[in-house]
Structure 1
Amino acid sequence: MIDVTCAIIIRDGLILAVQRSERMKHPLKWEFPGGKVESGESAETCIMRELKEELHIEVEILRVLSPVEFHYSEKSIRLIPFEVTLLSNEIILKEHSRLKWLNVTGLSDLDWLPADVLVIEQYLKLKK
């Protein structure tokens, strides 16, 4: 089981979704940004590092949500979602092809990675 972090990034009441580029695994799927926890690294340190590397942003962690597990054909992951607020103004996409800011009800309109769908379902239950 591989530990992976993701961030539900909130700015002005909207949530950031990023689309994987054509050269990434699962091309053109939408996801919450994040990445693999390195050996000896905490999940909190990982999400801060990954967001800096992938989007060139800084965030403040608001809370951690319950991890979800998903079994892809090539690997099994434990996805650890963080709800964060954006501190930086400019987002620079370094790996992804597009981004969208969505309201909570618009989250289900995109073609998400399966593990991220589980995060969305959990997040929507918390928002009710």
Structure 2
Amino acid sequence: MVDNSIKSEDVVAAIIKKDNLYFIAQRRRDKHMGLKWEFPGGKVEANETLQEALIREIYEELNININVYEKIAEERYKDSKINIVLHYFLCSIKDGIISLNEHEAMEWADKTDFDKYDFVVGDGNITSLI
């Protein structure tokens, strides 16, 4: 049962590309949709632009600084626990060494291999666009 009283929240996600590979991360097992793969990011806080939120979230989750380029997609997702509008941006690593602060595992995946990963809802739809 979907709770329609849950207000939608903006969430940002980074499509980090390097050498024709894409960075994906596996959600922590104790989180909603645990152990599924995702493009990292998180919730936009009050008074933040989408780009500012993405830079902050990626630094918090991965300990790296990123360049944020164009927005490539937007998805809406709602279930019994969340109601979100996902904003996807193409990004690259500016500096830093990746450290997983919020995830179980990471991969640099070729987009032809995306079907081998169990993506969170929403992110799975984006894989065909990149």
Q: What is the TM-score when the length of structure 2 is the normalising length?
A: 0.89
What is the rounded CA distance, in whole Å, between the counterparts of 2:115 and 2:96 in structure 1? 26
> Structure 1: which 5+ residue stretches go unaligned?
none
Mapped contact 2:63–2:96 kept (Cα < 8 A): no
- Residue of structure 1 equivalent to 2:121: 114
> Structure 2: which 5+ residue stretches go unaligned?
1-7
2:81 to 62, 74, 78: 74
Could you tell me which amino acid in structure 2 is paired with residue 20 of structure 1?
R
Structure 1 or 2: more strand by fraction: 2
Alignment deviations for residues 38-93 of structure 1 (CA, whole Å, 9 cap, x no partner): 01111000000000000001111121113111112212110000100112251000
1:61 to 28, 46, 68: 68
Matched pairs, number: 123
What is the rounded CA distance, in whole Å, between the counterparts of 1:118 and 1:71 in structure 2? 14
- Residue of structure 2 equivalent to 1:22: 29
1:108 deviates by 2.0
Other structure's SS at 1:22 match: coil
- Following TM superposition, the consecutive aligned residue runs of length 4 or more in structure 1 with deviations greater than 2 angstroms are none
Question: Alpha carbon RMSD of aligned pairs, Å?
Answer: 1.2
| 1:95 to 2:102 alignment | yes
Mapped contact 2:71–2:88 kept (Cα < 8 A): yes
Structure 1 or 2: more helix by fraction: 1
1:25 deviates by 1.7
What is the rounded CA distance, in whole Å, between the counterparts of 1:75 and 1:22 in structure 2? 17
Could you tell me which amino acid in structure 1 is paired with residue 80 of structure 2?
S
